[in-house]
Amino acid sequence: MKEFAGHSSALVADVDCTAAGKPLCDANGVKGFPTIKFGDPSALEDYKGAREFDGLQKFANENLKPMCSPASIELCDDDKKKEIEDLMEMSAEDLDAAIAEGDKKVEDAETHFKAEVEILQASYQKLMSDKDEAIESVKSSGLGLMKSVLAAKQKAGDEGKDEL
């Protein structure tokens, strides 16, 4: 935060999501701690990069700068300007509906992912249980005793040999 204090186009801040900052965190989808978000304040994205200072600083230097947006349309290329202009012509209700549709698709993807992870977890647990049972069965069938007998035979064989 000290590194970017007073920066004209980037705010680096710390929010306590368990106290007064909870509404802000809830509004921005913060579900775990620590969470790092970046981007346009009205459409923050999850940061998934390095967590040590050098990695964070490199990301900040490369990404936390004025970017194409409705507030800085002069930074946009022609295609992005056209896209923003088309969206600006939409009514607030139509934008809300399009956003809700996009949010629903994201939520559906998360729900599907979680359901599939649960299936994988159950499969993993079954495989672990089957493996443990198979190993225990082999061990209880005398594997340890066989290894002891083999070691004793090898040791007895070594004692009967003359060294040169």
Q: What is the pLDDT of residues 57-77, one digit of tens each?
A: 888 888 777 778 888 899 899
pLDDT band at 163 (very low <50, low <70, confident <90, very high): low
C-alpha distances in Å from residue 37, one per residue of 66, 132, 138, 152, 155: 16, 42, 52, 64, 65
* Domain-ending residue, one of 42, 71, 89: 89
* Triad 87, 91, 96: Cα angle to 5°: 85
pLDDT in tens, 4-51: 777 766 777 788 888 888 888 888 888 877 788 887 777 788 888 888
Structure tokens at 77: 């290329």
Measured CA to CA, the distance from residue 73 to residue 40 in angstroms comes to: 13
Which structural domain range is residue 101 located in? 92-157
Residues 101 and 85 in one domain: no
Q: Give the three-class secondary structure for 1.
A: coil
Mark which of 89, 110, 142 sits at the end of a domain. 89
Q: Are residues 4 and 74 in the same domain?
A: yes
Instruction: Specify the amino acid at residue 43.
Output: A
In a domain, 119, yes or no: yes
